[in-house]
Amino acid sequence: MRFLILFLVTPFIFYSQTPQEFGKEIVKTLASPEFYGRGYVNDGSKIAADFVVKKFKEYGVKPYGNDYKQPFNITVNTFPTVVEMTIDGKVLETGKDFVVSPISGSCKGEYIPFWIDSTNFPKVIDDLKSMRMNGTTAFIMDKKGITNKDTLALFNELKYYLSTLGPVVTIEEEKFTWSVGHQEAPNAIVAVLRKYISKSIKKLTFKIENKLEENYELANVIGVIEGKCKKKNIVISSHYDHLGMMGQQTYFPGANDNGSGTAMFLYLAKYYSTHKPKYNIVFMSFAAEEAGILGSKYYTENPIFPLEDIKFLVNLDLAGTGEEGITVVNATLHKKEFKKLGKLNLKNNYLEKVKLRGPAANSDHYFFTKKGVPAFFIYTNGGIKAYHDVYDKSETLPLTEFNDYSKLLIAFIKKL
Ligand SMILES: [Zn+2]
């Protein structure tokens, strides 16, 4: 309402948001508790998909076919209710002091620790076979000091087997990097920070509930802005999903990964809705990237127009910093385009550095590249290091180079 009055009174002065201000607003929304970490608990991913659709409609981005959504199903392990743990009565904070393994099963009760570490491994394997478990043993696995590669592989393999006997605790030195699992272990598997665990502990309690969701429905969100020359298509992509929740109390905001890329994606959608592009620009917002690049994989297996008709794809993931410039995955495959991008950057003095990188299976461009679609995956470098943890929040994500990064992308797309 305020905007309307302002507009009526002073028709020639109106407020225009910078790309960075626009980006911050989008990231704040996507990383808010109402989106539940854009995963599977409380249908966070679906809420995010609907948000992208809403923005497409707002900007006048049309669906490519009949619908914006391309539905598909996945199997995913979730933690929809309770994830709690104590050590000798001390309540550990979920997501900060400990995390469940993505493939963790459920567990409830009190347990006595049994250590497996460099002092008794791998000899302990034989003992375990003959040991009779009474259902009150929690296995604490400490890999510190195990340096032989094969022994370490064996140690890691043992984790799943042990979960058939009781809950398993692994030890993490500094920071957790969570992900999404597609199966469930027979019992709980958790990782605890070393500072909360020692050989003198006597009792552990767990209250952990998982739910394996089979055939969970998700959707890629796809829209198009028609260009002056409709013969060719440029694709801009980014994934909107993140890791979701670990119980009802803890969520992974995913501000940088990939609230920021989605913000840049939506900024470009908005930009091209008022600046008609040369070629069609197809906007693809993928689901289930964190679950193993599954949304974009599904798309490349079920494309809505021939993959050969994509002139170039630009995938945006981790767009939230940029103090040290950007890295371009597939730069070595598309040297001409990489040179163009570097030149544009240098000429306009946008970013600190445009770094070259070879192919990598690390985001949604990957299956397009495998099928021969020319593609770049670009991510920003420098600044805060929160990644796949509860600290990847909008409050601490600066979007430092968002303005210049957006200008560089627009200049690059114009030259394609
Ligand atoms: Zn990501």
Ligand 1 centre and the CA of 259: distance in Å?
9
Q: ∠ CA(83), CA(87), CA(90), 5° rounding?
A: 85
Q: In the predicted model, what is the mean pLDDT of the chain?
A: 94
pLDDT of the residue at 14: 59
Residue 269 CA to ligand 1 center (angstroms) comes to: 19
What pLDDT is attached to residue 13?
54
Check if the beta carbon of residue 103 is closer than 8 Å to that of residue 185.
yes
Q: Under 8 Å CB-to-CB from 109, ≥6 apart: which residues?
A: 136, 205, 206
Distance 102 CA to ligand 1 centre (A): 17
Largest CA distance in the chain: 85
CA of 173 to the centre of ligand 1 (A): 24
The dihedral of CA 132, 137, 138, 143: what is its sign?
A: negative
pLDDT tens column, 332-348: 999 999 999 999 999 99
CA–CA distance, 102 with 243 (Å, rounded to integer): 10
> Distance between alpha carbon 349 and the CA centroid of its chain, in Å?
30
Distance from Cα 74 to the centre of ligand 1, integer Å? 18
Separation of CA 328 and ligand 1 centre (Å): 15
Q: How confident is the model at residue 127 (pLDDT cuts 50, 70, 90)?
A: confident
The answer on pLDDT for 316 being more than 60 is yes
Distance 47 CA to ligand 1 centre (A): 18
Distance 324 CA to ligand 1 centre (A): 19
Q: Which of 15, 12, 197 is CA-nearest to residue 117? A: 197
Three-state SS for the chain is: CHHHHHHHHCCCCCCCCCHHHHHHHHHHHHCCHHHHHHCCHHHHHHHHHHHHHHHHHHHCCEECCCCCEEEEEEEEEECCCCEEEEECCEECCECCCEEECCCCCCEEEEEEEEEECCCCCCCHHHHHHHCCCCCCEEEEECCCCCCCHHHHHHHHHHHHHHCCCCCEEEEECCCCCCCCCCCCCCCCEEEEEHHHCCCCCCCEEEEECCEEEEEEEEEEEEEEECCCEEEEEEEEEEECCCCEECCCCCEECCHHHHHHHHHHHHHHHHHHHHCCCCEEEEEEEECCCCCCCHHHHHHHHCCCCCHHHEEEEEEECCCCCCCCCEEEECCCCCHHHHHHHHHHHHHHCCCCCEEEECCCCCCCCHHHHHCCCCEEEEEECCCCCCCCCCCCCHHHCCCCCHHHHHHHHHHHHHHC
**Residue 26 Cα to ligand 1 middle (Å):** 16
Read off the pLDDT of residues 219-258 as tens digits, 9 standing for 90 and up: 999 999 999 988 889 999 999 999 999 999 999 999 999 9
Residue 131's pLDDT is 73
Neighbouring-strand partners of residue 73: 217
Cα(241) to ligand 1 centroid in Å equals 8
Contact 38, 244 (CB under 8 A): yes
Q: Evaluate the CA torsion angle 52, 57, 60, 65 in order and state its sign.
A: positive
What residues form DSSP beta bridges with 192?
98, 171
Question: Alpha-carbon distance 139 to 115, whole Å?
Answer: 6
Cα 385 to middle of ligand 1, angstroms: 14
Tell whether the model's pLDDT for residue 296 goes beyond 60. Answer: yes
4 Cα–ligand 1 center, Å: 38
Nearest to 90 by CA among 247, 207, 204, 249: 204
CA distances from 206 to 85, 113, 189, 248 (A): 5, 12, 10, 16
Q: From the CA of 152, how far away is ligand 1's center (Å)?
A: 28
| Ligand 1 centroid – CA 105 distance (Å) | 25
292 HSE (CA, 13 A, CB side): 10
Higher-confidence residue of 127 and 289: namely: 289
CA of 239 relative to ligand 1 center, distance in Å: 7
Burial of 174-189, coded b for 16+ CB within 10 Å and e otherwise, reads: eebebebbbebbbbbb
Question: Cα–Cα distance between 357 and 378 in angstroms, integer?
Answer: 10
pLDDT-wise least confident of 46-55, 96-105, 144-153, 405-414? 144-153
Which structure tokens are listed for 237?
Answer: 């992509």
Give mean pLDDT, residues 211-224.
Answer: 98
Q: How confident is the model at residue 140 (pLDDT cuts 50, 70, 90)?
A: very high
Give residue 392 CA to ligand 1 midpoint distance, Å: 12
Report CA(41)–ligand 1 centroid distance (Å).
Answer: 18
> For residue 374, what are the contacts with CB-CB under 8 A and spacing of at least 6?
310, 311, 312, 313, 333, 334, 337
Cα of 311 to ligand 1 centre, how many Å? 23
Cα 363 to ligand 1 centre (Å): 6
**What are residue 114's DSSP bridge partners?**
139
Dist. CA 257 → ligand 1 center (Å): 5
What is the distance in A from the centroid of ligand 1 to the CA of 387? 9
User: How far does residue 83's CA lie from ligand 1's centre (Å)?
Assistant: 24
Cβ-based burial of 324 (10 A; exposed 0-12, middle 13-18, buried ≥19): middle
- Mean pLDDT over 383-398 rounds to 95
Q: Is the predicted pLDDT of residue 352 greater than 70, yes or no?
A: yes
Q: How far apart are CA 326 and CA 314, in angstroms?
A: 13
Q: How far is the CA of 317 from the centre of ligand 1 (A)?
A: 5
Residue 10 CA to ligand 1 center (angstroms) comes to 43
Q: Measured in angstroms, how far is the CA atom of residue 370 from the centroid of ligand 1?
A: 19
Q: Which residues surround ligand 1, an ion (CB under 5 A)?
A: 257-258, 317
| Domains annotated on the chain, with CATH | 16-74+218-415 (3.40.630.10), 83-208 (3.50.30.30)
Q: In this predicted model, what pLDDT tens digit does every residue of 5-63 receive, in sequence order? A: 444 555 455 578 999 999 999 999 999 999 999 999 999 999 999 999 999 999 999 99
